[in-house]
Amino acid sequence: MIDSLTALQRWYASRCDGVWEHAHGIEIASLDNPGWMVKLSGASSGKALDLAIERDESDWISVRATHAEFAGYGGPGKLPELLALAVEWIDGSATNDEGRSDR
């Protein structure tokens, strides 16, 4: 199984056609609360996902996704989990039950 970062790189590269990448892509940024943001746009195979898990003030995840866009936010230690959820979303396997499919 490939890691999340490699999967996202492959997904991005497979869509770049000289036009798509000018309007869509992947955005990863730090937040000032602190935390992480992961956004993907331009997918057509993702499914709707609405997830919010708050374990404590630094251990939280919030994801909203449509068939075309994924927006995930999480605490300072949640970047790997956000990337994994983004990969599950583009693969069409993300679920709303506690935010994860069986990985």
Evaluate whether 90 touches 6 at the Cβ level (below 8 Å): no
**How many CA atoms lie within 13 Å of 68's alpha carbon, on the beta-carbon side?**
4
Query: Which amino acid, 60?
Result: W
Within a domain: 85: yes
Calculate the dihedral angle through the C-alpha atoms of 55, 57, 58, 64, rounding to the nearest 10 degrees. 70
Write down the pTM of the prediction. Answer: 0.85
Domain contains 47: yes
Q: In the chain, how many domains are there? A: 1
Q: What's at 63, amino acid-wise? A: V
Q: Is residue 19 part of a domain?
A: yes
With respect to residue 102, please indicate whether it lies within any of the assigned structural domains.
Answer: no
Whether 96 is covered by a domain: the verdict is: no
Q: State the amino acid at position 74 in one-letter form.
A: G
Per residue in 43-102, pLDDT (tens digit) is: 877 788 999 999 999 999 999 999 999 999 999 999 999 999 999 999 886 655 444 433
Per-residue confidence (pLDDT) for residue 28, from 0 to 100? 98
Check if the beta carbon of residue 35 is closer than 8 Å to that of residue 47. Answer: no
| 103 domain-assigned | no
53 inside domain = yes
E runs forming strands in the chain: 25-31, 35-41, 49-56, 59-65, 69-74
Q: Is 42 inside any structural domain?
A: yes
Look up the domain containing 77 and give its range. 4-91
